[in-house]
Structure 1
Amino acid sequence: MKMGERLQPVDQANRVITLDIIRGFALLGILLVNMHFFSTPKLFTMMAEISLFEGTSSQIAEWFITIFASGKFFTTFSFLFGLGFFLLMSRVEEKGLSVPRVYSRRMIFLLVIGIIHAFILWSGDILLPYAIAGLFLMLFRKKAVESIKKWAIGLFIACMVVLALFSYLNSVLMSILDFDVPLVTTYEELVAEAMEVYQNGSFLDILLFRLGEEAPLVLSNLIVMVPLVLSIFLFGLYVGKKGVLRDIPGHLPWIRKVWSRSLVVGWGLTVIYVILKSEMVILPFHLHLPATEVLAIVSGLILSFFYITSLTLLCQKEQWLGRLSFLAPVGQMAFTNYLMQTVIGLLIFNGYGLGLFGSVPPEYGILITLGIFLFQIIFSKFWLSKFKFGPMEKLWRSFTYK
């Protein structure tokens, strides 16, 4: 479909399906990125600045994931969370219930699941920062639309400034104190230790390693992650309060404008990021790393807007809505499917499962991703043919509404 084609209005049910389609698409992208972390000690290889797979096909696969997926789908999912908060508020108010009371129960449940997921199962969890940032989201419940927009932009910029400053100071400190080589050696040792533990260790062995070596990094990362997630939540809340979802056809000019601008700016920044990341151009004096880190997040956020608006515009055509509807059941069971991806990943790669950790190059990781997601499409459709909600969605809803 050409973006300039005349779009036909869709009914309320199709507007909800559109959100589920976008959410399902985001889950595919999240799994694609997370596959790196399921299958390798990516957390430590990044810090040690080493790669486990040097083949041409592996490098192409890694660049594909970096350019089209990394940072784009986490932000898409976060945006939808903020939009979902607005929808939840509307439903709760219609039922005459207390929004703070219902929503706080919802976040407490998410917080408990996030703690279990992050520390017992897998360190790449996003539920814990979602739950913490979600609690702060209540502070913006009654703010005006333009105020929310200013807070979203301001908070995001503040996070980028802090991130750049931390990265710059860390780079300068390493240079002055000459700590770089010992730290890199330490991370290389952690890579080797992680390979051994995750390939051959029991559940308890892996748990102890995670709590000892990975948990401190996860907790320290929350300092920047929570306000960053909150800023993206606010973008979603802004769109909800703006009334876009209630009247998509009436907001098509605005959606097209966001689409065109995010297309140009997002991919433009991505090109600059790739140039810096591949070191075709190297910035002077400790600016290179801060610039690449900030560009990765900024371009990821803007391209997430491009993905969201692209799918929204496509879903205004009945034909495209039908073509993309296979993603809706996955998105409708997003909570269940997100956790399911972790469980399947652990059983494939960890020592208490198939023990393939560290032995699957990224090009095969893409194939595994597609296989798992295909299973989730089939499973979600089957489950929803029998039940109204996914199992985790049912538990979450039951706890939320008692």
Structure 2
Amino acid sequence: MEAMLSPASDEYVAAVHPVNQTERIETLDVLRGVALLGILLMSIQAFGLTEASVQQLVRNPHGGNYWLVTLVHVLFENKMRALFSMLFGAGILLFLNKSRSSSGMEVPELFIRRQLWLIVFGLINAWGLLWHYDILFHYGIVGIFLFPFMRLSPRTLLVCAVAVGLIYSGKLYWQFAEQKQKYEKFQQVTALEKKNKKVKLTDEQKDDKSAWEGMVKGRQYDSKADKADVVAMRSDYATVWSHQLPKTKRMEASFFYQFGLWDIVSMMLLGMALFKWGFFSNRLTTRHYTFLAIGGILIGQAMAWFSLSNHELAIVNFTRYVSTNSLPVAEVLMPFERAFVAIGWASLVLLAYRSGRGAWLWKALSAVGQMAFTNYLMQSMLCTLFFYGYGLGYYGDMKLYQLYIVVAEIWLIQLVFSLMWLKTFRLGPLEWLWRSLTYGRRQPMLRTETSPQVTPVFS
């Protein structure tokens, strides 16, 4: 693929030169819009239902809601977020390839300021809007780490992405190995108790036994705990905040540093490589996009369907999952499954875009992509106000299929709002605020205002 578009080629220079608001790469915006709207397909489940109630659909595999949750899992879960991360990686290169800013500050300084403000917005989304699956905080941190990678060749970036993906896969396997070790220790203790019912367990043996029993209990359906979860989420803001606090701490701290970091780094590096090859800027041949669409979707979906039974077994019977498996197939394959499918979906979208049909749709998706930052936080605001108790309080009150009616409504709102807003303004409201904070001065907002040279990362 490197021969298709080398870093020294005229096409590559055109793809990464600093762009004005009127010189955007439209396909990048379209793909960003698709990824942003696609993310809601998965996040709506966490906005509107308890995790336990969603898992109950897997434990009782029949009916339309089971097939719906299965199809969403196989086709989209993690894939749209992976594509979003890839596009953010591409945006990093767009920003850093500016020769010099008009603010008097060097581009690296501006980039660091931009990322730090993104971290602030992420904290607001997680701790203020109460969305514990926020990704802005993570993107802000990871983007700073990836600063030194901008000068690497696309092939080297791809190697780095694969290496980090393997580390992520390895960490997921290591987690499973620790679970299996706990199960084996539990088995040894129970075997000892069966052999001698009067045996007095040591403190270490008691800990081994309770550790496994606590793990299994935490994965079983508890109707009382599920109902209490719903009651808390339908309460006032302070109650919801306190209830979400442990989840938010876990996602912003321990989960991110153990697993999420490797996930995001691998996808952003892959996005940087693909951007340097001209993938996102629609510069590959139709034959190449066709090959990537078919190959990416077939390989990725084959992995997804192959690992589905393993994924469901971990929910239905965790003890059997640990005791009968030597390899957590679903988790080990996941980093690569999502990359293949994300590239496949992106290639399919670019092929459809290249056909020239449905110009109105591409214009609308491009508008959503231009305002991705605003629309991402808008999804948090709309969903929390609709489902949480300090809003309309529909949390836990809707069937799974009904959630996707809400998704369709939010999509429509964001498509129309983005188109209407960009008729008057050059930036989304939060894109404008973020850029103004980054540059340390008010940026032009109206289309009639004179604009300094700007380059989008998230917007």
| TM-score, length basis structure 2 | 0.77
1:128-173 residue CA offsets vs partner (Å, 9 max, x unmatched): 1111111111021222332212111111111111111112312431
Partner in structure 2 of residue 274 of structure 1:
308
Residue 71 of structure 2 aligns with an amino acid whose one-letter code is: F
Cα drift, residue 295 of structure 1: 2.9
Partner in structure 2 of residue 257 of structure 1:
291
Which structure has more helix as a fraction of its residues? 1
1:354-374 residue CA offsets vs partner (Å, 9 max, x unmatched): 111112111111111011111
Residue 30 of structure 1 aligns with an amino acid whose one-letter code is: I
Taking the TM superposition and a 5 Å limit, the aligned residue runs for 1:131-280 are: 131-175=140-184, 176=186, 177-178=208-209, 179-186=211-218, 188=222, 190-199=225-234, 201-223=235-257, 224-245=259-280, 248-278=282-312
> Residues 53 and 152 (structure 1 numbering): CA distance in 2 closer, same or farther, change over 3 Å?
closer
Question: Is 1:311 aligned to residue 349 of structure 2?
Answer: yes
Cα drift, residue 400 of structure 1: 2.1
Question: Is 1:119 aligned to residue 127 of structure 2?
Answer: yes
Task: Give me the whole-angstrom Cα distance separating, in 2, the residues matched to 1:395 and 1:29.
Answer: 25
> Residues 92 and 206 (structure 1 numbering): CA distance in 2 closer, same or farther, change over 3 Å?
farther
> Residues 161 and 169 (structure 1 numbering): CA distance in 2 closer, same or farther, change over 3 Å?
same
Task: Give me the whole-angstrom Cα distance separating, in 1, the residues matched to 2:241 and 2:330.
Answer: 32
Partner in structure 2 of residue 66 of structure 1:
73
> Residues 284 and 180 (structure 1 numbering): CA distance in 2 closer, same or farther, change over 3 Å?
closer
> Residues 325 and 139 (structure 1 numbering): CA distance in 2 closer, same or farther, change over 3 Å?
same
Q: Percent identity?
A: 25
SS in 2 for 1:91: coil
Task: Give me the whole-angstrom Cα distance separating, in 1, the residues matched to 2:100 and 2:69.
Answer: 46
SS in 1 for 2:146: helix
SS in 1 for 2:90: helix
Task: Give me the whole-angstrom Cα distance separating, in 2, the residues matched to 1:91 and 1:312.
Answer: 26
| TM-score, length basis structure 1 | 0.87
Cα drift, residue 217 of structure 1: 4.8
Is residue 72–residue 303 contact of structure 1 (8 Å, CA) maintained in 2? yes
Question: Is 1:370 aligned to residue 405 of structure 2?
Answer: no
Partner in structure 2 of residue 38 of structure 1:
47
Is residue 132–residue 251 contact of structure 2 (8 Å, CA) maintained in 1? no
Partner in structure 2 of residue 296 of structure 1:
334
Partner in structure 2 of residue 100 of structure 1:
108
Is residue 98–residue 107 contact of structure 2 (8 Å, CA) maintained in 1? no
Q: Structure 2: which 5+ residue stretches go unaligned?
A: 1-10, 16-21, 187-207, 441-459
1:379 to 417, 422, 439: 417
Task: Give me the whole-angstrom Cα distance separating, in 1, the residues matched to 2:63 and 2:280.
Answer: 44
> Residues 375 and 126 (structure 1 numbering): CA distance in 2 closer, same or farther, change over 3 Å?
same
1:174-230 residue CA offsets vs partner (Å, 9 max, x unmatched): 45334444344456365343212002x210111112224542354211021012201
Q: Which structure would you say has the larger Rg?
A: 2
Q: Structure 1: which 5+ residue stretches go unaligned?
A: 1-8
Residue 271 of structure 1 aligns with an amino acid whose one-letter code is: W
Cα drift, residue 118 of structure 1: 1.7
Task: Give me the whole-angstrom Cα distance separating, in 2, the residues matched to 1:214 and 1:89.
Answer: 31
Task: Give me the whole-angstrom Cα distance separating, in 1, the residues matched to 2:47 and 2:284.
Answer: 43
Task: Give me the whole-angstrom Cα distance separating, in 1, the residues matched to 2:46 and 2:385.
Answer: 14
Task: Give me the whole-angstrom Cα distance separating, in 2, the residues matched to 1:186 and 1:278.
Answer: 16
Is residue 57–residue 65 contact of structure 2 (8 Å, CA) maintained in 1? no
